[in-house]
Amino acid sequence: MKFELVATEIFIEQIQNLDKKSKEQIKNKIDMISSNPFRFKRIHSKTVHNLFRVRLNIRGNETRLIYAVLSPNIILVCLLNRKNDYTDLEKYLRELK
């Protein structure tokens, strides 16, 4: 099945301020997501069922790229700082609805 990538406004705002190396790292991961969206680890949410995360190391910070697979789209939700333990995730997911 062919999926279409869709980025949320939050995701676009978050990547605008990143350096070139970080953007390239994110682009490589997005290419991997496009080829097989179910490749990475599934995470649990109260609102979205097919939610996944990709581990990244951006500027020395453990970061997670969060995306949802809602056929026929792959929605790039946000970049989460790992030290916050996913506390902001549900806030970002509410904007998907």
For residue range 3-61, list pLDDT tens digits in order: 999 999 999 999 998 999 999 999 999 999 999 999 999 998 888 889 999 999 998 89
Whole-prediction pTM? 0.91
Q: Is residue 97 pLDDT above 70, yes or no?
A: no
**Cα 92 from Cα 17, distance rounded (Å):** 19
Q: How confident is the model at residue 64 (pLDDT cuts 50, 70, 90)?
A: very high
The phi and psi torsions of 26 (rounded to 5 degrees) equal: -65, -40
Instruction: Determine the pLDDT at residue 26.
Output: 96
Q: Is residue 90 pLDDT above 90, yes or no?
A: no
The DSSP bridge partners found for residue 63 are: 56, 81
Residue-range domain boundaries for the chain: 4-94
Using the CB atoms, write b or e for 8-30: b if 16+ within 10 Å: bebbeebbeebeeebeebbeebb
Pick the CATH number of 4-94 from 3.40.50.880, 3.30.2310.20, 3.10.20.30, 3.30.1330.120: 3.30.2310.20
Q: Is residue 1 pLDDT above 80, yes or no?
A: no
Instruction: Determine the pLDDT at residue 46.
Output: 84
Q: Is residue 95 pLDDT above 70, yes or no?
A: yes
